[in-house]
Amino acid sequence: MRMATAYLLPIKTAAALFPLLALVLLLPTAVLLYRRHGVMSPGRTLSLYGFLYYLLTAYCMTIVPLPKQTGDMCERFAPVAHPQWMPGNTFSDIWKEAHHKVGLNALVLQNPAVAGTLFNLLLLVPLGVFLRYHFGRSLRATAVIGFVVSMSFELTQWTGVWGLYSCPYRLFDVDDLIVNTSGAVIGWLLAGPVARMLPALEALDGRALAARPVPFGRRLTALVVDVAGYVVASVFAAAVMTYQGGAAPSWIPVGIFVAWFILLPLATGATPGKRLLLLKLVSEDGGPLVPWRLTLRALLLGALVMPFLSGLFLAMLTLLHEPWPSGLFATVRDSGAQGAAAALTALSPVQLLAVMAGFTLTATCVRKTLRHPHRLAPHDRVSGIHNATLPHSRAVRAGAQTADRSEPVAVARPADDGAPAGTPDRPLVGTGPVGPTGSAEVQRSAADSR
pLDDT of residue 442: 36
At residue 24, what are phi and psi to the nearest 5 degrees? -65, -40
pLDDT of residue 67: 86
Q: How many residues does the chain have?
A: 450
Instruction: Decide: 195 and 447 in contact? Cβ < 8 Å.
Output: yes
Amino acid at 205: D
| Residue 297 burial class via C-beta count within 10 angstroms: exposed 0-12, middle 13-18, buried 19 and up | buried
Q: DSSP letter string over 374-433?
A: T---HHHHHHTEEEEEPPPHHHHHHHHHHHHTTPPP-PBPPPBSS--TTPPP--BS--GG
CA distances from 88 to 98, 171, 185, 186, 347 (A): 16, 15, 19, 19, 67
Rounded to the nearest 5 percent, the helix, strand and coil shares of the chain are 70, 5, 30
| Residue 151 burial class via C-beta count within 10 angstroms: exposed 0-12, middle 13-18, buried 19 and up | middle
Torsion angle, alpha carbons of 189, 192, 197, 200, to 10: 130
pLDDT of residue 429: 37
Residues 6 or more apart in contact with residue 304 via CB below 8 angstroms: 361, 362, 365, 377, 378, 379
pLDDT of residue 107: 65
Distance CA 418, CA 188 (A): 42
Amino acid at 6: A
How many Cβ atoms are within 10 Å of 192's Cβ, its own excluded?
Answer: 12
CA distances from 30 to 75, 123, 209, 371, 396 (A): 47, 28, 15, 23, 19
Angle CA(20)–CA(26)–CA(30) in degrees, nearest 5? 170
At residue 181, what are phi and psi to the nearest 5 degrees? -65, -40
Distance CA 373, CA 365 (A): 14
10-residue block means of pLDDT along the chain (450 residues)?
A: 67 89 89 89 87 92 85 85 82 68 66 79 92 90 95 91 87 90 95 82 82 87 90 86 74 89 94 94 90 92 70 54 45 45 60 72 82 85 90 73 54 50 38 37 38
Least Cα distance to 81 among 151, 159, 6 occurs for 159
Distance CA 28, CA 20 (A): 14
Q: DSSP letter string over 19-35?
A: HHHHHHHHHHHHHHHHH
Q: How far is CA 310 from the centre of its chain?
A: 27
pLDDT of residue 105: 64
Amino acid at 56: L
